[in-house]
Structure 1
Amino acid sequence: MRGHKQRRFAAALAATVVASLIIRVPASAAPPTSLDANPDNRAAAAQLSKDNGLPLQEAQRRIARQDQQIALADQLRHSLGAGFGGAWIDHDHAGRLTVAIVGAGTAASVRKAAVTKQLTDTTTLVVQRSYAELEHISTALGTRLAAANEDAPHGLQAAIDVKHNTVRLDLPKGKNLTDTQHDAIRWASQQFGNAVSFGAYDQPSVPRYCGGQYYCDPPLRSGLATYMGGGRCTTAFMTYSGSAYYMLTAGHCAEIGYYFYVPTYYYGTQYVGYAVDYDFGYWGDSALIYIEDAAWWRPRGWVYPQTVIRSYGYDYVGQYVCKQGSTTGYTCGRITQTNATVHYPDRTLTGMTWSTACVAAGDSGSGVYYGSRAHGILSGGPYSGCGMIHEPVTRALSRWGVNLLSS
């Protein structure tokens, strides 16, 4: 289901594994740039240490290499083309990058690229299916599950399992399914065979809005509380198209309120703008908010308080990402699933990313990022316990035809 706001203004934007082969505040104030000073490195290392029972020094070593590993994965995603089967950071094996390849013939090119980036512990895994094939299966399965989940009390979910070269279909543990859902499971087995694996999940997924904190004077940035229609969410990244500026947040926030406000320190709560359009359903969870008085708000590519965002990119399993939310503040976690189909109480979303970060009501809309790289928009999490679901920022930018505002 895609949400639409009918009111528009002239200024709004019209927009399986085969073999293993061992072979990734004031505008003038400048944010810290050194590795040690970066709060993302400290927080992510602390979380990695806790998650894996590692000495902090080892966790810091792994986190310090993450940007290079992701850059290598991005490079290979493009250079290998149909030979790319996915990539992940393997914290069960010293945090090395593993690259899945279709056929052993490209292993040498992977080794060469890894040596160039001084990531000589990078390994390859020969698989049957390309990542593009997995994405195709995931999309087709997501479409079928979204229809099957309609009016069902408990939803079917799915995600790409890059480590096993399959798309995993998860059933709600201990819950009864409808006849339509059983039909969808049989269809998946018949249509895709062993390309689809099966699992179960315990906690239902929910969006994270709330009904105040994290306020800031201009410039407008990610990580601030934003109010709409009696609810509270969090601002995500700033964007632009031509001379117009826009703010991203979660689509379900725009579904409960058309006009958006942000509390400031000196000026009280101020009007930001209105929802140009939003998605909350099959196409994910994102909203585009037009900033009416950009001259006053002076939007910047920052995350609260002043972490500079310079680029955006893909999500990889094993990578650590962080968010600044208006309820739980600054938390980080490890990406566990990509291209996930997620069932919320009254709708099913596709193309989402799961991680282990802790979130709570009111954090929805937060910009998900690491270092200076944007990754997504916080959507929700499990009903209880830690876990974060985010909308990939790559899709949101493309969906709304806007550019990421950097620095």
Structure 2
Amino acid sequence: MAVALTSSATAGPPTQPADSAMIAAMARDFGITTDQARDRLVREDAASRTEGDLKAKLGPAYAGAWLNGDASQLTVAATSDSQIQTIRNAGATPKLVKNNLGTLDALKTKLDNNARKVTKAVPGWYVDVQNNTVVVLTRDTAGAKQFVKSAGVNEADVRFEQSVEDPKPYIDVVGGNAYYIGSGSRCSVGFSVTNGGFVTAGHCGTQGASTTQPSGSFAGSSFPGNDYAWVRVSAGNTMKPEVNRYPGTVQVNGSTEAAVGASVCRSGSTTGWHCGTIQQKNASVSYQEGTVTGLTRTNACAEPGDSGGSWLAGDQAQGVTSGGSGTCSGGTPVMYFQPVNEILQAYGLTLMTSGGGGTTTTNPTGPTGPTGPTNPGNTTWKQGTAYAAGATVTYNGANYRCLQGHTAQPGWEPPSVPALWQRV
């Protein structure tokens, strides 16, 4: 029997109460009351922690997880009968499947490696954990099958899905706040980092490109392939751990990744606040400029003028707007964002959170951590554990302080991710 998700479903520090304007936007876009929106966020927070814990416990048997429509039930897929009771004991609903997540990701990687041969027949592809397969979107089935074959993937191992999507990167944008690139194109600030700048979308500018309002330059940029960048701003600008929600701001308190099925809200000056749900992760999107992999697919709307903007689940940073199809005035939107944790790890950046306050830049220096509360004593670092900013752990005999809230994943050991951990 399924067990309802509650805030005590798994150990770990709770996130801060959601901003009232975000609650109102969720109520508007989901057609629910504000009380129901608050309850949903509580359930989603519990689900994220449970998912991280089970991912570590199940190991190679893990095959993905997702929430149902109202986020009242977390389903976790596994490839082994022996893990079913472990899933039930955690308060989630088990589903026995054929392929583990590693197998699905490997199939998708083969398609990613063949991206140079993609045509307009294939708008994108992604891992679909709910159906335990890889979906290839197609406008022309014959062309899509040829693409899959040339990647060395068996047709029987993927599902072809007819699509009218025509994804485009939204480059003329304002998100939280506007900034300008070169001679006048606009993009939006994603999230402030303590390194003296902010993260944004890679298609907004190439490395070295100058910016104004705030003044600075692109210290790193990757597009296509990825769609991320960070801008180092000039002295005198004050960085804030906030996102513009038109009107007012939302505080950012970490970057714990939300589950498939969880609610997300995005900010953009063209369309304001809009919310939706996470549909799939690790999606590949075929833009005219080239293919971008590792994106998160959602049903929230956006329009040109929203690129690079912030995506939040409660008070947790999720990513920056990449592009998509549809509008906020009609039709069925499909929108993609670049996950923020990948950006932070790629450039060794530290997300600025409300526990660390704002910083006024002088000459940019290396990462500096927030001064939030620490645990009363060190604990040994463990996969699947949700760590709050300021938590301290021991790993291989060394002590580390958590710089931003997250759920520990394989490969995120403290020495490997300076964006998340600082040795003390």
Given that 1:315 and 1:353 are in contact with CA atoms closer than 8 Å, whether structure 2 keeps it comes out as no
- Corresponding position of 1:147: 116
State the AA in 2 paired with 1:280: F
2:202 is the alignment partner of 1:225 = no
The TM-score with structure 1 as length reference comes to 0.75
Q: In 2, distance between residues paired with 1:374 and 1:58?
A: 22
Give the percent of matched residue pairs that are identical in Structure 1 and Structure 2.
28
Instruction: List gaps (5 residues or longer) in structure 1.
Output: 1-20, 25-32, 115-121, 214-221, 263-270
Given that 2:110 and 2:153 are in contact with CA atoms closer than 8 Å, whether structure 1 keeps it comes out as no
State the AA in 2 paired with 1:300: K
2:330 is the alignment partner of 1:361 = no
Alpha-carbon shift at residue 298 of structure 1 (Å): 2.1
Alpha-carbon shift at residue 104 of structure 1 (Å): 2.1
State the AA in 2 paired with 1:365: G
Aligned pair partner of 1:77 in 49, 55, 64? 55
What's the CA shift string for 1:251-278, capped at 9, x where partnerless?
111149912222xxxxxxxx43100120
Aligned pair partner of 1:239 in 161, 186, 193? 193
More helix by share: 1
The answer to which structure, 1 or 2, has the higher relative contact order (CA under 8 A, 6+ apart) is: 1
Given that 2:207 and 2:219 are in contact with CA atoms closer than 8 Å, whether structure 1 keeps it comes out as no
2:170 is the alignment partner of 1:208 = yes
- Corresponding position of 2:125: 158
Tell me the C-alpha RMSD between the 2 structures.
2.7
SS at match of 2:63: strand
SS at match of 2:160: strand
Aligned pair partner of 2:238 in 276, 295, 298? 298
Given that 1:165 and 1:195 are in contact with CA atoms closer than 8 Å, whether structure 2 keeps it comes out as no
Cα distance change of structure 1 residues 306 and 156 upon mapping to structure 2, 3 Å threshold: closer
State the AA in 1 paired with 2:157: A
Describe how 1:3-402 pairs up with structure 2 within 5 A.
34-35=17-18, 38-49=20-31, 61-91=39-69, 95-114=72-91, 122-144=92-114, 146-149=115-118, 152-172=119-139, 177=143, 182-187=145-150, 191-192=153-154, 194-210=156-172, 223-229=176-182, 230-240=184-194, 244-255=195-206, 258-262=209-213, 271-282=214-225, 284-293=226-235, 296-304=236-244, 305-382=248-325, 384=327, 385=331, 386-402=333-349
Q: In 2, distance between residues paired with 1:375 and 1:192?
A: 33
Cα distance change of structure 1 residues 45 and 383 upon mapping to structure 2, 3 Å threshold: closer
Say which is worse superposed, 100-109 or 389-398, in terms of deviation: 100-109
Q: How many residues align?
A: 336
Q: In 2, distance between residues paired with 1:104 and 1:56?
A: 40
Q: In 1, distance between residues paired with 2:93 and 2:148?
A: 34
The TM-score with structure 2 as length reference comes to 0.72
Alpha-carbon shift at residue 332 of structure 1 (Å): 0.9
Alpha-carbon shift at residue 187 of structure 1 (Å): 4.2
- Corresponding position of 1:6: none
Q: In 2, distance between residues paired with 1:185 and 1:153?
A: 14
Given that 1:210 and 1:232 are in contact with CA atoms closer than 8 Å, whether structure 2 keeps it comes out as yes
Alpha-carbon shift at residue 56 of structure 1 (Å): 6.8
Given that 1:239 and 1:405 are in contact with CA atoms closer than 8 Å, whether structure 2 keeps it comes out as yes
Given that 2:217 and 2:232 are in contact with CA atoms closer than 8 Å, whether structure 1 keeps it comes out as yes
- Corresponding position of 2:403: none
Alpha-carbon shift at residue 95 of structure 1 (Å): 3.4
Q: In 2, distance between residues paired with 1:303 and 1:362?
A: 16
